[in-house]
Structure 1
Amino acid sequence: MKPRVYLDWNATTPLRAEARAAMAAAMDVFGNPSSVHAEGRAARALVERARGQVAQALGAEGADVVFTSGATEAAALALAGRGLLSAGVEHEAVLAWCDCSLVADSQGRVAVADPGRTALQLANSETGVMQDLPAGLAVSDLTQAFGKVAFAFNWLGCDMGLVSAHKLGGPKGIGALVLRRGLDFVPQLRGGGQEMGRRAGTENLIGIAGFGAAAEAAARDLADGVWDKVAELRNILELALSAQANETIFVGNGATRLPNTLYLVTPGWKGETQVMQMDLAGFAVSAGSACSSGKLRASRTLRAMGFDDGLAACGLRVSIGPQTTQDQVLRFAEAWGAQYRKARARV
């Protein structure tokens, strides 16, 4: 029996060896980072080292990186009570705080008239489509782009950015809000002076150490051209799939996309069905549609792009990474094609 193949890197990534080693070392540093004695100073040094690692990978000033429990908390810190505008292609963690009145085109691109009142992602988690961020943007979700494409926060021209460790080989449960230098906000968690008074609570030292190490390693991979090779592999997969099903829509292939992301819509073949069939065949992928309370729901992202409910329920996301091989993607294409032919034979 062949080993399973993981093709869901946009959902989460394998833990990097560098992050694992940093976390293991941090377990022996038991001091409280807020304590002034030697043990506390040792813990504080780990936090600040990781802050510098994340900042350098982001192209941001270290003092402007605020560690959080993840990108969802970072979104709440950045967006709560501000009434910003966004579009339906954004992540739920952003939409929960925004007026979803902006419109996406058929490629998932969003036109912004008032950047200072807008939250706009750099890259979409489902389609991989990337946005051109306007100068003066209030908030950008950088979660999917961080570590996969080259950018510098200081050059983007936005006030705040959201990032998460587990999307680039770090641990789950740790992320950050990055701020333009000199910008501040009203903290939500109070009771301590941690994170420069912006986020109270004893720091997650182990998670922070893992995040820093993962960010540093991710930046090194990016500079070494690792993701260029991933993009070549994604294109090989797209060609292999398109050769088997000419009715399949490859969403966003007319726009700039993340190098690892392929999102396909096959009319009449539910995304959730495809996920289950591929899972049984030994491949981990995701559907564009979501399951809520046992009821299938069309992809909000596809609907925001103008797809009707029928097509929006037929999305399948394949997201690969540096550990993915050509043999694996071609095996997936073969298995997917076999299931596609079975599905069509039943029509």
Structure 2
Amino acid sequence: MVEVYLDNSATTKPMEEVVEIMVRALRDFYGNPSSLHRKGVEVEKLVKNARKQVAKALGVKDEEIIFTSGGTESNNLAILGAVEGNKRKGNRIITSRIEHPSVLNVFQHLETKGYEVIYLDVDEVGRVDLRQLKDHICDDTLLISLMHVNNEVGTIQPIEEIGRLLQHMKMKPIFHVDAIQSFGKVKFDPNKLGIDLVSVSGHKIHGPKGIGALYIRKGLKIAPIVFGGNQETGIRSGTENIPGILGLGVAAVHAFQHLSEHIRHMRFLRDRFLHRVKKEIDHIKINGLEGEGSAPHILNISFIGAKGEVLLHSLEQDGIYVSTGSACSSKKNVHSHVLKAMGLKNEEIEGAIRFSFAYHNTAEEIDFAVDRLKKHVADLRRIMMR
């Protein structure tokens, strides 16, 4: 059976080079980097090199990178660590209504601890309300946490404008950016944008699962949320995941050596898919932006009159893999909080499918997927009309 994997926002297929270095790490580089003997020192050097690879990809200093167990921990550490380490800055913290659960759930937890939480609204394409943000920032604002690229609809948030706004403030809030969907997909420079904390994840860029990283601007105080043997400068204790760290390093190098090429190819695939769907399937709604302002790899479309989950499984029978939204909440019987915040009607939310592309997808795969999509949408609509 043909396999067309279009769920790359949920996770990506690891590169062969990533698999190879991880296998080698398990087989040969099994020393503990905290050990003083040769096997430990050998692994410590490899970890330092991987840190350098991730730092170079982000355009930051090596010592500003902390390895974590993935995007969720990076977001938790950024938010909880910043709040706990900088309590005197204030009591107000700001995020948006369309964040990933690894951010929203932390803010809801902090709300129970007495912090004043502001949830910014978004417009019909999923972009945060900048005027509302300006209205809510005050001298008591401790932290602002926003995602760069929305994981469900691909809208790019105005991070640059927000960074400029904050840099001119006398009492600048800490600025955290969840870049899990933009790292390796959208060009950005944390230093130029005035970002203090950046979360990234390995398995979104053809690296391994169970590994991530957090950029922490030098000089920013972050309290640890995991305690132990003082690994990662004491901010994230625990014996390092060596296969994961080395795999992330290799994936980061590949992603950023070929970033412009990958962006062009993913944009080509997205545009090809969108053009054909708009031309050949009626009663659809594009959720988010179609061109400028949208990430090159994510496309969210509502097929009115067809249930998204049923359509997903119909496509799966043809070897085409897509999703109905975030992988972290897709198994829960709830409507997408992102699409709700964007003001979509229930029937539009129920018919929504996310297609997400990667550099290894081909035009032939796109055409096959659209051909089968047309048939399944028509079949499901006929059934619904009975």
TM-score using structure 1 length: 0.94
List per-residue Cα deviations over 1:72-115 (Å, max 9, x = no partner). Answer: 01111111273632112110101011246210110100023238
Question: 2:190, 2:196 within 8 Å by CA — same for their partners in 1?
Answer: no
Deviation at 1:291, TM superposition (A): 9.8
**Aligned: 1:147 with 2:156:** no
Q: Give, as a single letter, the amino acid of the residue that structure 2 aligns with 1:196.
A: T
- Aligned-pair identity (%): 36
Secondary structure of 1:140's counterpart equals strand
**Aligned: 1:250 with 2:296:** no
Greater Cα shift, 293-302 or 140-149: 293-302
Q: Give, as a single letter, the amino acid of the residue that structure 1 aligns with 2:29.
A: V
Question: 1:47, 1:208 within 8 Å by CA — same for their partners in 2?
Answer: yes
2: CA distance, partners of 1:103 / 1:169: 32
2:113 corresponds in structure 1 to none
2:300 corresponds in structure 1 to 263
Quick one: structure 1 residues 16 and 138, their matched pair in 2 at CA, closer, same or farther if it must change by over 3 Å? same
Match of 1:107 among 82, 101, 125: 125
1:213 corresponds in structure 2 to 250
Secondary structure of 2:215's counterpart equals strand
1: CA distance, partners of 2:151 / 2:358: 14
Question: 1:289, 1:296 within 8 Å by CA — same for their partners in 2?
Answer: no
Question: 2:184, 2:259 within 8 Å by CA — same for their partners in 1?
Answer: yes
Quick one: structure 1 residues 291 and 62, their matched pair in 2 at CA, closer, same or farther if it must change by over 3 Å? closer
Question: 1:290, 1:296 within 8 Å by CA — same for their partners in 2?
Answer: no
Deviation at 1:132, TM superposition (A): 1.2
List per-residue Cα deviations over 1:19-72 (Å, max 9, x = no partner). Answer: 122212322112111122221111111111000000101111110111000010
Count how many residue pairs are aligned between Structure 1 and Structure 2: 345
2: CA distance, partners of 1:186 / 1:291: 26
**Aligned: 1:117 with 2:154:** no
Deviation at 1:165, TM superposition (A): 0.3
Quick one: structure 1 residues 289 and 274, their matched pair in 2 at CA, closer, same or farther if it must change by over 3 Å? farther
2: CA distance, partners of 1:202 / 1:344: 53
**Aligned: 1:281 with 2:318:** yes
Secondary structure of 2:220's counterpart equals coil
2: CA distance, partners of 1:97 / 1:45: 34
Secondary structure of 1:296's counterpart equals coil
Question: 1:88, 1:100 within 8 Å by CA — same for their partners in 2?
Answer: no
Greater Cα shift, 283-292 or 175-184: 283-292
1:93 corresponds in structure 2 to 102
Secondary structure of 1:240's counterpart equals helix
1:182 corresponds in structure 2 to 219
1:191 corresponds in structure 2 to 228
2: CA distance, partners of 1:270 / 1:58: 40
1: CA distance, partners of 2:330 / 2:220: 41
Q: Give, as a single letter, the amino acid of the residue that structure 1 aligns with 2:273.
A: L
1: CA distance, partners of 2:21 / 2:294: 32
Question: 1:272, 1:289 within 8 Å by CA — same for their partners in 2?
Answer: no
